Amino acid sequence: MTKIAVILCYFGKLPENFSLFAESCRRNATIDFLLFTDDTPTHLPENMHLHPTTFAALQRRVAGCFDFAITLHTPYKLCDYKPAYGEIFAPELSGYDFWGYGDMDLVFGDLRAYFTEDKLRKYDKFYAFGHLSLYRNTPENNAVYRQPVGMDYRKAFTTREIAVFDEINGISAKYKALGLPFYDRQDYADITKASDRLAITDVGITADNQLHPNYSEQIFYCDRGRVFRDAYCNGQWLTDEFVYIHISSRRLPLHIDPAADTYFIGKTGYEPKTRVTTRADIARYNALDPAADEKQRRHRQRLDLRRKIKKGFIRIKERICK
């Protein structure tokens, strides 16, 4: 079986629902998760390997990989360095056929159902986002981020701005421009920030890769290590499956045991699931509320505007310093 490792870097206290995330890792027993952190978690699954470190130590490690002065002033800036993890963490990745990076604000489904041996033979990169991406572990593939097409890695690694080099317009655009084998289908449920209920975002979704539209009545759930969605539409029940569900910028309360086999994932939190999904479950845990959606949309617009203004100030300051 092809050996896969997923690198996780986190500094500070691990996320509130880390135990739920770790349980979803445990259920993917044939994949290793390498956790680099300054926290001291206990009771980790056997396939999650702790690498204690500090952010300062990692800063020095990353800086030592390049012949120019980099900018790595906050842990969040690590997002831009994710495509270089194949080189940065080369010692730990020795012996693995594929390596990846991921976030912790998600729940994994059955990863091997999507990373099949047939697909792993065909593709050098999987997925376009930083929540979860996978790369073939060869020197040539690990150096694609350095290719002189698309976004310049030197610029991404020297600006204080978050360049989002790990996603669509960064490393993913390089693979497409170079015509490299790149699997980019919407197998995942990336939850939008612009909705009150849990609904799938349209960011990065095109006619070529879209697989999962939203429905007015829908709810997500986890069942024995697999992630599903049930939807009621035109008098019929529809069920689809995902490689993972990614829920960013939300604090969903945990109303279940993290080791539970089955549970709902809705806007009210992680909720017990003891039966076949009903419309009443959807109404209770993930109801569509147009007024709340509009309020959330306007809130996200204000946050996005603040972010753009901050980026503008960073760019002006960097031009002045030059």
DSSP SS3 for 52 = strand
pLDDT at 55: 98
> Which DSSP state fits 286?
S
248 and 282 in a single domain? The answer is yes
142 and 80 in a single domain? The answer is yes
Give the bridge partners for 271, in sequence order: 264
User: For the chain, how many structural domains are there in total?
Assistant: 2
On the 0-12 / 13-18 / 19+ scale of CB atoms within 10 A, 67 is exposed
126 and 36 in a single domain? The answer is yes
Q: Is the pLDDT confidence value at 306 over 70?
A: no
148 and 57 in a single domain? The answer is yes
pLDDT at 296: 63
106 and 238 in a single domain? The answer is no
pLDDT digits (tens, 9 = 90+) for 152-184: 999 999 999 999 999 999 999 999 999 999 999
pTM (predicted TM-score): 0.90
157 and 220 in a single domain? The answer is no
Q: CB atoms < 10 A from the CB of 290, how many?
A: 8
- 50 occurs within a structural domain: yes
120 and 206 in a single domain? The answer is no
80 and 47 in a single domain? The answer is yes
- 78 occurs within a structural domain: yes
CA distances from 1 to 33, 97, 175 (A): 16, 10, 25
Q: Which two tokens stand for residue 8?
A: 């996780």
- 310 occurs within a structural domain: no
109 and 226 in a single domain? The answer is no
> Which DSSP state fits 139?
H
Domain of residue 163 covers 4-183
Contacts of 110 (CB under 8 A, 6+ apart): 27, 28, 225, 226, 243
pLDDT digits (tens, 9 = 90+) for 15-60: 999 999 999 999 999 999 999 999 999 999 999 999 999 999 999 9
35 and 165 in a single domain? The answer is yes
For residues 232 and 209, what is the distance between their CA atoms, to the nearest angstrom? 23
- 300 occurs within a structural domain: no
pLDDT digits (tens, 9 = 90+) for 240-295: 999 999 999 899 999 999 999 999 999 999 999 999 999 999 999 999 977 766 76
CATH code where residue 72 lies = 3.90.550
β-pairing, 218-223 vs 125-126, is unpaired
Handedness of CA 126, 130, 131, 135 (dihedral sign): positive
Q: How many residues does the chain have?
A: 322
Tokens 């020197």 locate to 139
Residue that is last in its domain, among 128, 155, 183? 183
129 and 108 in a single domain? The answer is yes
24 and 160 in a single domain? The answer is yes
- 28 occurs within a structural domain: yes
pLDDT at 262: 98
